[in-house]
Amino acid sequence: MTDVSTTTGSPAPTESIPGPAWLGVGKLRTMAAHPPRFFTGLREEYGPVVRFPFGNSHGYLLSDPRVIQDVYIASDRKFGKDVLKIGKGNRAAPMAIILGRGLATSDGDFHRTQRRRIQPIFHRQRIAGYGATFASLAAEASAGWTDGQQMNVHEQMYEISLGMVAKTIFDVSLDADVAHTIRTAFPRRGGPLRWEQVVPFGRFVIKLPLRNNRRFRKGRKALNEIIYRMIEERRQGPGDGDDLLSVLLSVQDAETGEFMDDELVRDEAMTLLFAGHETSSGALTWAYHLLSKNPEAKKRMHAELDEVLGDRLPEVSDLPRLVWTDAVFSEALRLYPPVWVTVRRTLTEYTGAGYVLPPDSFVMISPWVVHHDPQWWPEPEAFAPQRWIASDGADPLGGHAVAPGRPRMAYLPFGAGPRQCIGNAFARMEAIMALATIGRHWDFEAVNDDPVDVVTHITVQPRRGVQMIARRRR
């Protein structure tokens, strides 16, 4: 057993882990309306390890960065992603119903093999090659806006992100049939997939003959048909494409020399597609929402863009100089991490923070909960990009996030360890290039001071979008 206990002596039994014996009406309402707030409340009330009722058993919320580091890295092989029971003794990871056996959902030796295969695709030089595409697509999209136009910024960011992933993964434009199918096939705000996230037996709910379930299955079928068609076209072609789908088809296992079959290529392409537009569109939307509420931070970003870029499009070589723009995005990811929770199942008995967890335990690690913990983040609800920039100490929040000695897992928007998001560098560059491109000429004003409701069924998104007014800067 691995023991990262903060106490001395023998580990305490599972039953002694603090937590609610049952969930009253108030807690159930909070959990249904805003799950991150509910679990943040559990951490505030009971501490960094919480035992809570989950179905006919219990779940465990881990919020201590030292324990998280052990789960994600040192003891990774003692945990599985297959937390869902799907009948006849079988299990699956959340989202496997649409992502198949891709990196986000696979487990064990198979996952390690796939990670080894695909990792070279995301080397720095290849990712940098997509930078100009990101900038040109963001510029093209924003060129159609008019000064004073009121828009749903979330929808605009969704289209920009979709354009970027459609081009880089499939080498198609936004007006192609695949882009249209993605728009209609992927369920917005989770659709039926949300049942997997909030109901212990959600996979069975998805199978019911409900209208949204039928629509989801129809959309999945249409998207599968298009992806398989493109796979076949590339297999019949010269094999020299630069899009990620073409690259996936050329990937060989370094040890066996084997290529991936069509189904596995489809699963990995679907995973990249989902992660590339669903998470990025939300993160960009939250960045603009936060900037609209913090005029000084917005002014400083615009000044940096004017100094570094002037009137030209950003290039990848500009990124090291876009320090404040990068900090804005980092802080947006802290306050609104796209994936607000990850789940694991203990494959063997595990000891962490002085407690024993038995095999088959349902374990939750929430970036949202950790990112809003005042022990690691002073004034955790404040939007403060200066946290990410070295400071002379005049600002109490300045440089806090990059100060030496901080726990590594106090910030984990992309996870960590062997299961860290393989496209994290891709996602960061995509978002910062979009912020820089749009910010050269455009500013956004909030329509009103109404709070923006958060929906967290799969990724962290604004429930009804974010209405803003576009203002041309020059």
Output the known binding site.
421
Helices H / strands E in the chain, number of each: 19, 14
Give Cα 174 to chain centroid, integer Å.
23
Rounded to whole angstroms, the Cα distance separating 34 from 366 reads 13
Cα–Cα distances (Å) from 239 to 126, 191, 254, 366, 416, in that order, read 17, 36, 19, 41, 33
In whole angstroms, give the CA distance from residue 42 to residue 39.
5
Q: How far apart are CA 299 and CA 304, in angstroms?
A: 9
DSSP-assigned states of every residue in 368-434: HHHHT-TTTSSSTTS--GGGGS---SSSTTTTGGG-TT--GGG--TT--GGGS-TTHHHHHHHHHHH
**Dihedral in degrees, nearest 10, Cα atoms 358, 359, 364, 370:** 60
Residue 212, both tokens: 């949204």
SS3 454: strand
Query: Position 417: which residue type?
Result: G
Specify the DSSP class assigned to residue 13.
Answer: P
Residue 262: CB atoms within 10 Å: 13
Question: 194 Cβ partners below 8 Å, 6+ apart?
Answer: 202, 457, 458
Annotated binding site for heme: 421
| Residue 108 host element (H or E) | helix 108-118
100: its two tokens:
């198949």
HSE of 311 in the Cβ direction (CA atoms, 13 Å)? 1
As given in the structure block, the two tokens for residue 162 are 């979709």
Chain centre distance of CA 94: 14
